[in-house]
Amino acid sequence: MKNLLYFQSGGPTSVINTSLYGVIKEAKKHPEIGGIFASLYGIEGVLNDNLIDLRQESEETVELLPQTPGAILGTARYKLSSDVNHLDYQKILATLKKYNIGYLLVNGGNDSMDTCHKLSKLMKEVGYDCNVIGIPKTIDNDLANTDHCLGFPSAAKFVLQTLQDVAIDNLVYNKGKVAIVEVMGRNAGWLTAVATLLEGEVKADRIYLPEDTFNLETFLEEVKQVYEKKKKGLFVISEGILAQMPHQGKEVDGFGHVQMGGVAYQLAQIVKDRFGYSTRPIEFSLMQRAAAQYITLVDSKEAIKVSSIAVKKAVKGKTDSMVVISRKSDEPFKVSFKLQKLNKIANVEKKLSPEQVMDVHGEGTLMKRYVRPLLKGSPKFVYENGLIKRAILKKAKVK
Amino acid sequence: MKNLLYFQSGGPTSVINTSLYGVIKEAKKHPEIGGIFASLYGIEGVLNDNLIDLRQESEETVELLPQTPGAILGTARYKLSSDVNHLDYQKILATLKKYNIGYLLVNGGNDSMDTCHKLSKLMKEVGYDCNVIGIPKTIDNDLANTDHCLGFPSAAKFVLQTLQDVAIDNLVYNKGKVAIVEVMGRNAGWLTAVATLLEGEVKADRIYLPEDTFNLETFLEEVKQVYEKKKKGLFVISEGILAQMPHQGKEVDGFGHVQMGGVAYQLAQIVKDRFGYSTRPIEFSLMQRAAAQYITLVDSKEAIKVSSIAVKKAVKGKTDSMVVISRKSDEPFKVSFKLQKLNKIANVEKKLSPEQVMDVHGEGTLMKRYVRPLLKGSPKFVYENGLIKRAILKKAKVK
């Protein structure tokens, strides 16, 4: 009998702990699985021999995981060396052997799937028998070969509803106002593209994706055109366009605290300085990946299902793979799940296609069809003192 | 038979349109009321003869008002002159007479109640028969002689839940991080004080109210102490402490875009510059007053009830008054409603008492008892394409 090890990796989402829930629930059904362990702070806990025993957690705590955002086990952004002779790999193998790990489940995004892939190869080379399965997770939605990523639907619901709320608020005064909203997504514009779903008076005036070429002067010209026409403006900007901002010259120098203020603040200041318009920079910040209230039923159910499949496949001897979601139909929304080899996932970044970029700047027909089914429903939450009750783990060390 | 005129004034809340809903529903029950009119953009619509006929709005649209944030009629921050001989008053009287307004309902905060009071006095002086009733509204919760203000409960729910979400997210990495969160409230710290309700690992390390004396060096010392102890920090700051920030000297000069970046951004930059800590400034911005998803059942029901009383009292001949909420018990939560003369409300700002400030910096027993009952429940929302469906008014001009 072998033990199972699970860890969380990369940026959190509001359903990553739902994946953990799914793993615990499924693993408990399998007599082949002995210990159900987790590493604290992602791969760091494996490197530092910092493992906890999930069987020690109460049923009540486990039931609260699907309504607890963040990464309850702690996470890491630790990039393993591409040299498989690096000491790190020896440390990892030592931990896996010490705890007799036969099933390794890694819940993460692109970089984490790269880690998984390297580990799988290493274990094959050294002849250590451990099945590695990836569980996809990223609000950026940029993993390849899957229709969408766990965490994206809930983040999308936050972004869409909050954009509508601030767009409505931006219309209340009978005077000029330019709102500039910044959405996460460094290289892929999926989450920003959700703005395409706004319609009517609250429609975004312009959407700026990292897939676009961003030119500051063109942006200023577009703001001016919109403002002169209606004295209002809603501009939705991906944080990823930061990489294309000119960090020299008078406009930026005085307030170019890039890592602090973010793109929305910089652009709002530039618009104000150039045209004197009243501006309102809004950054969705951690809320877009952590808002428990916006977890969608689709996201939550899929997170549980994907974990269940990951555990089952690992037990059946599958390895070096990630569970992917394949869409069968939009309406009614139907998906299926299957395994995909990690070399098809690791280090591949799925961006919007040129056709999809055009759609975002046009009618948004494709994007509406893609995103709307993901937004449906909400899980039923348990509240305590007016707050969504969060799980608090005991985190008992593995003996 | 006289007509009724309603308008929205000051900053929006997520339930100000619920108040409008309550007014329409109640007014339709009274045969004494002829036209049900609204002014666009607050008092500006009265000054500029810009009135719409609410009886022209469909039942379906009216039913969506309680789930539509913002101020759907438009609002204004227009301060009337204290000289009652000012031309504005003549314009207002002219509009009221032109449309035969016998009932004037004003939905607003402090300044708006001052407007109401001035208008009441004027109408009495000139002998024009029109009953003026105020409907309280402000997320700042700073109106005197009422237990709380409509809009505050929903804003409080947003602030509390979102603080918990970002606090959880702030704990995920095994490295230092200081989160600095900015909450609305220029002179009164009610909304910031809601942070007192966080408990355990997500508890705020320090809360800074506008009622406190803010000293930058003391703040920095407090951040340092917290960080050295646990390498994490959650500091919740009222935007109102901006008035106490030193706007000269090296620390602020380089990035002191006061009206843009807000307090959180400034302080995060100062902390980073001084100590080199990784910081995360978060501004709750328009979301805290506009998040439809966080409307509480208590807030929604009270908004409807208060409007209903306002209409009834106006019809019964009451004037120069605002409907106030009086709390009978915390658990079970019971309130009663009554009229209060506007001279007891106008231009009085209710801040936290010294005892309440001490409570916020201590155990928070008072604040928990005060806020928790307000957070209860959610209205049932109608969704469309994944979004909370918003009301869109026809806004037919009064003929």
In chain A, residues with a C-beta closer than 8 Å to the C-beta of B197 are 385-387
| Type of residue numbered A200 | G
CATH of domain A2-151+295-348+376-388: 3.40.50.450
Tokens in use for A99? 């705890």
Q: Quote ipTM for the complex.
A: 0.95
* Order of all β-strands in the sheet with B279-283: B206-208, B232-238, B177-183, B279-283
Q: Is B395 within 8 Å of chain A by CB?
A: no
Compare CB distances from B386 to A160, A169, A289 and report the shortest one's residue. A160
Q: Is residue B233 pLDDT above 70, yes or no? A: yes
Q: In which residue ranges of chain A is pLDDT below 50?
A: 248-261
Residue contact B164–A260, C-beta within 8 A: no
Tokens in use for B175? 């490295």
Query: Which of A50, A137, A165 is the best residue to mutate to test the B interface, defined by the most B CB atoms within 10 Å of its own CB?
Result: A165
pLDDT value at residue A249: 35
Examine the residue annotation and report whether B140 is marked as an active-site residue of this protein.
Answer: yes
Q: Is A278 within 8 Å of chain B by CB?
A: no
Rounded distance between C-alpha atoms, residue B68 and residue B13, angstroms: 10
Mean pLDDT, rounded, for B190-202:
97
pLDDT value at residue B34: 98
pLDDT tens readout for residues B342-366: 999 988 899 999 999 999 999 999 9
Residue contact B285–A166, C-beta within 8 A: yes
Compare CB distances from B282 to A286, A289, A385 and report the shortest one's residue. A286
pLDDT confidence bin for B339, thresholds 50/70/90: very high
Contacts of B343 (CB under 8 A, 6+ apart): B117, B320
Residue contact B201–A368, C-beta within 8 A: no
Contact B235, B262 (CB under 8 A): no
pLDDT confidence bin for B181, thresholds 50/70/90: very high
The closest alpha carbon to A163, from A187, A197, A214, belongs to: A197
Contact B388, B292 (CB under 8 A): yes
| Type of residue numbered B146 | T
CATH of domain B2-138+294-347+379-388: 3.40.50.450
Q: Is A369 within 8 Å of chain B by CB?
A: no
Q: What burial class does residue B273 get, using C-beta atoms within 10 Å of its C-beta: 0-12 exposed, 13-18 middle, 19+ buried? A: middle
What part of B 175-194 touches A (C-beta under 8 Å)?
A: 179
CATH of domain B153-290: 3.40.50.460
Q: Which of A68-82, A379-393, B27-41, B200-214 has the lowest mean pLDDT?
A: A68-82
Residue contact A169–B12, C-beta within 8 A: yes
Compare CB distances from B174 to A76, A169, A289 and report the shortest one's residue. A76
Q: Is residue B377 pLDDT above 90, yes or no? A: yes
pLDDT confidence bin for B85, thresholds 50/70/90: confident
pLDDT value at residue B251: 35
Tokens in use for A54? 């999930």
| Type of residue numbered A130 | C
Mean pLDDT, rounded, for B158-179:
96
pLDDT value at residue B199: 95
Q: Is residue B110 pLDDT above 90, yes or no? A: no
* Number of C-beta neighbours around residue B255 at 10 A: 20
The residues with which B338 forms a beta bridge, in sequence order, are B324
Instruction: Work out the minimum CA distance from A369 to partner chain B, whole angstroms.
Output: 10
Compare CB distances from A293 to B269, B279, B293 and report the shortest one's residue. B293
Domain ranges of chain B: 2-138+294-347+379-388, 153-290
| Type of residue numbered A115 | T
The closest alpha carbon to B37, from B106, B99, B90, belongs to: B99
Q: Is A311 within 8 Å of chain B by CB?
A: no
DSSP state of B203: -
Catalytic residue among B88, B111, B140, B320: B140
pLDDT value at residue A242: 82
Instruction: Work out the minimum CA distance from A267 to partner chain B, whole angstroms.
Output: 11
Q: Do the domains A2-151+295-348+376-388 and A153-290 sit in the same CATH topology, yes or no?
A: yes
pLDDT value at residue A247: 62
Q: Is B126 within 8 Å of chain A by CB?
A: no
In chain A, residues with a C-beta closer than 8 Å to the C-beta of B44 are 174
Rounded distance between C-alpha atoms, residue B43 and residue B41, angstroms: 7
pLDDT value at residue B247: 62
The closest alpha carbon to B325, from B114, B112, B143, B192, belongs to: B143
